[in-house]
Amino acid sequence: MPQKLFEDLLRGKGQQLAAALTAAGVETTLKEDSFRDYTVKLSVRHERRSGGFINLYYAPSRKEFSCKTHQITQAALIPPIESVWTTLSGQPAAAAKPAPIATSGYQLYVDGSYVNGRVGYGAVLLNEGVEMQRFSGRVYDDLQSRQVSGELMATMTALTWCAHHNITPVEVLYDYEGIEKWARGLWKANLPLTQRYVAYMRACPVKVKWHKVRSHTGVEWNEIADQLAKQGAMTPP
């Protein structure tokens, strides 16, 4: 199986956290089959019983790790885990999932990805919180813009599908702010890629509401869109 994008960084930090927790009396090991590009799980045991999982995330844009304990099943383990993580990183662990996003109406999560010189796009459309349609593919033009071209392609591809199915309005949830900024005229479109995107959004019959989410923080559908974009990037020509 190919190595995940930030597996080395996650492994290093995960091993450091596991060693510190084990030394503090909380038996902790990396869950090898849980590695994803931006996250890995650590299995926790205490008094011969499973204590659930720690979720370790890496955000490359901020070069920061974060630790979430919402999958820990023994409540007594959370304080020592949080204490060790704070000592290790200088940041508090998050005991809960990211704040839930209201699931009203149609919602479209979009993302782009740049993998080994290839660009992909991914999107997932929900209706009242229920998955309705997935989109994934490879981008062959404007590769110099890397994942940005994937972000824009994801948005245009999915909104075109919505228009053909008379779906409107749609809340577009994204982690790259240019998606909204260019569409609303808040950023100047200097490149042919962004100029085409602006022209598309002006002509698009779908009414759009914009919603910025933080990348790689465990937002479920945003993570799925991210995986779809990576799959798209690896699609054979």
- Give strand pairing partners of 63: none
Residue 40: phi, psi to the nearest 5?
A: -150, 155
Helix and strand numbers (H, E) in the chain are 6, 9
Residue 150 has pLDDT above 60, yes or no: yes
Residue 100 has pLDDT above 60, yes or no: no
Q: In 193-226, which positions are buried (b, 16+ CB within 10 angstroms) versus exposed (e)? A: bbeebbeebeebebebeeeeeebbbbbebbbbbb
Environment class of residue 185 by beta-carbon count within 10 Å: exposed (0-12), middle (13-18) or buried (19+)? exposed
pLDDT number for residue 154:
96
The answer to pTM > 0.75 is no
Distance CA(115)–CA(50), nearest Å, equals 36
Single-letter code of the amino acid located at 156: M
Question: For 181-198, what is the mean pLDDT?
Answer: 91
Distance CA(68)–CA(164), nearest Å, equals 40
Q: Is-contact 143 184, C-beta < 8 A?
A: no
pLDDT number for residue 143:
63
What are the start and end residues of each CATH 3.30.420.10 domain in the chain?
106-233
DSSP SS3 for 144 = helix
Between 61-75, 120-134, 188-202, the lowest mean confidence (pLDDT) is in 61-75
Domain 106-233 sits in which CATH superfamily? Ribonuclease H-like superfamily/Ribonuclease H (3.30.420.10)
Dihedral (CA of 65, 136, 189, 184) sign: negative
Single-letter code of the amino acid located at 142: D
**Token digits of residue 141:** 């033009």
